[in-house]
Chain A
Amino acid sequence: MNIVVCIKQVPDTTDVKIDPKTGTLIREGVPSIVNPDDKHAIEEALRLKEKFGGKVTAVSMGPPQAEDALREASAMGVDEMILLCDRAFAGADTWATSYALGTAVRKLGFDLVICGREAIDGDTAQIGPQMAEHLGVPQITYVRNVEMGDGKIICERALEDGYERIEANLPALITVIADLNKPRYPSVRGIVEAYREKEVKVWTAGDINADPQCIGLEGSPTEVQRTFAPEPKGEGEMLEGSTEEVCSQLVSRLKDKNVLR
């Protein structure tokens, strides 16, 4: 079975700072990591390979330094690494990115594509679903459990108040959430192999025969009007006094706000 995992290198922070002048992310001094949801995607791909055999390929689109994220995936056990890296891809929104990734995935050939639910720097959760559309395959999002057999995949799709059990024919694409599994640590030997023995293949726009109209800024219908960091929430108020006093204060405050009646 051919499994392709799409991963993204992101800044390691939950507190992403935005430059107020340019409206872009400040990346200086922030270490880069593999996007957390994507690690669950890698883990699931490796588990499925261990169970059913086959090959796992990790694909990422980004600047040259994004190869570090691919090498980490390799140290975890991924067989092959592809980096889509070309100035022509620059400035892509999620639509152009999912086109480029989808085109690369089609070139690789696949039975299953696994993506993390969303990246912590963009929070759109659009890449997976859009790729499925580009590829013309069924998609199951927010997956928290996977079963497989007879050319089919059966997933539990998490909802706010429960889950759906969805079956799809392969090839298919799923996006996964953290509840699905616990990602393994890279092994020390895996790290050595990732850096000394394995190669990150770099594919340009030409290598995947991408339509120039569909990639980079040109292929991006999204126009960013403004980006901003949300105002931090005000400091909480501490109620003081005995337990009874605090409780009665709390109740009256909640009544003022119509939370209690």
Chain B
Amino acid sequence: MDFALTKEQEMVRKTARDFAANELEPIAADIDESAEFPTETVRKLGELGFMGMTVPKEWGGAGLDDVSYVIAIEEISKVCASHGITLSVNNSLVCWPLMAFGTDAQKEKYLKPLASGQKLGCFGLTEPNAGTDAASQATVAEKQGDKYVINGNKIFITNGEKADVAIIFAMTDKSKGTRGISAFIIEKEFPGFSIGTVEKKLGIRGSCTAELVFEDMVVPEQNLLGGEGKGFKVAMATLDGGRIGVAAQALGIAEAAFEASVKYAKEREQFGKPISKFQAIQWFLSDMATEIEAARMLVYRAAFDKWQKRPYTVSAAMAKYLASDVAMKTTRNAIQVHGGYGFTKDYPVERFYRDAKITEIYEGTTEVQKMVISGNLLK
């Protein structure tokens, strides 16, 4: 057993870390405040190959392993969780299902520009009445000749407003339940497609979260992804991978809060000495460090399982469950270490705290992860 990273993984970490320090750190607080999507830095990340990291080279990606991918998401999220999720969605919720279920023609047309960062993608599954109960899709796709006509809407879609391409889900046969759900690749220019509400959020405010609206949207049948009735399978398999990305995002947020706490504890003096000399603070820091290390092991393990083509549904669920929990605890206690200053925008920990919360919710709530884990334990 060897816990060491490969040289390649180390260089991915260094590159992501350098980029985050030089390009993202200066804007992270601003885009949180203004809730402005960072088009320019997302474009740069795409040019460097961060948008389709595990996609093979022949389809426009970098051909990296999944551990390198989570390392990159971790490092980017450590500085700016909004960039972290923007990247994670394009990599794991868009490129990955295209790679796994797409035809060569679909890969040529959609995967190449998405993986090489020329286009941005999003993933539309959630509806007003289909959250955790993802099978209750109200969006309907009706076959008309060689086309589908789709009506419905999707909410809370990360990258939604900015995406050029979306993978969406709709009922093609209501009588068949989950086997009546199909996945489609759509373009923002398709007639009948529009953007609805753009959400105002507690955290990850530099990422864009929007409603996708389909009104008699016409989709050519060759844009069906994975075959008619296979949509639920596509969605569930995709989310298994997506969870590893969110887990890595949570890990990055926790690390950021921890490092800020260590720095502050050494600088801040009370009762004539740095507060790091007090056991109350030391125990916060040692808990943070231990829990982060545990989360990191689980996140890397899930990514390693995926890379090795082993089953990773359970390890991904465990990784997301633990890492998001650690992110919440660490960011909450980071504010406690900072005291009143931590509650202000003069320090970044309040942003980390707000950013952490969503990791317990999207791409399967913590409760869903527990359902997945226990479902596998008890089957």
Q: Which residues does A use to contact B, with CB under 8 Å?
A: 68, 71-72, 75, 185-192, 194-196
Q: List A contacts of B53 (CB < 8 A).
A: 188
29 interchain pairs, CB-CB under 8 A: A68-B7, A71-B11, A75-B15, A185-B15, A185-B18, A186-B11, A186-B15, A186-B48, A187-B47, A187-B48, A188-B48, A188-B50, A188-B62, A188-B72, A189-B49, A189-B57, A189-B62, A189-B63, A190-B49, A191-B11, A191-B12, A192-B8, A192-B57, A192-B62, A192-B63, A192-B64, A194-B11, A195-B11, A196-B8
> With an 8 A cutoff between CB atoms, is B19 at the interface?
yes
The smallest C-beta distance from A16 to any residue of chain B, in angstroms, reads: 20
- From the candidates A72, A189, A196, name the one contacting B11 in the complex (CB within 8 A): A72
Residues of chain B from 1 to 51 with CB closer than 8 A to chain A in the complex: 6-8, 11-12, 15, 18-19, 47-50
Q: List B contacts of A187 (CB < 8 A).
A: 47-49, 62
Q: List A contacts of B11 (CB < 8 A).
A: 71-72, 75, 186, 191, 194-195
- From the candidates B7, B48, B57, B64, name the one contacting A185 in the complex (CB within 8 A): B48
CA distance A195 to B6 in the complex (A): 10
Known: A75-B11, A191-B8. A185 touches B63 (CB 8 A): no
- Whether B48 lies near A195 (C-beta < 8 A) is no
Please classify how large the interface on chain B is, using the bins under 10, 10 to 19, 20 to 34, 35 or more.
10 to 19
Q: Which residues does B use to contact A, with CB under 8 Å?
A: 6-8, 11-12, 15, 18-19, 47-50, 53, 57, 61-64, 72
CA distance A154 to B369 in the complex (A): 63
CA distance A186 to B53 in the complex (A): 14
Please, which residue of chain A has its CB at the minimum distance from the CB of B116?
A189
CA distance A117 to B50 in the complex (A): 32
The smallest C-beta distance from A60 to any residue of chain B, in angstroms, reads: 16
The smallest C-beta distance from A97 to any residue of chain B, in angstroms, reads: 25
The smallest C-beta distance from B60 to any residue of chain A, in angstroms, reads: 10
- Whether B12 lies near A188 (C-beta < 8 A) is yes
Q: What are the 7 closest A-B residue pairs judged by CB atoms, nearest first?
A: A188-B49, A188-B62, A189-B62, A195-B8, A189-B49, A187-B48, A187-B49
- From the candidates B7, B19, B49, B72, name the one contacting A195 in the complex (CB within 8 A): B7
Please, which residue of chain A has its CB at the minimum distance from the CB of B53?
A188
Max chain A Cβ within 10 angstroms of own Cβ: one of B12, B15, B57, B72:
B15
Known: A68-B7, A71-B7, A185-B48. A191 touches B15 (CB 8 A): yes
The smallest C-beta distance from B57 to any residue of chain A, in angstroms, reads: 7
The smallest C-beta distance from A222 to any residue of chain B, in angstroms, reads: 33
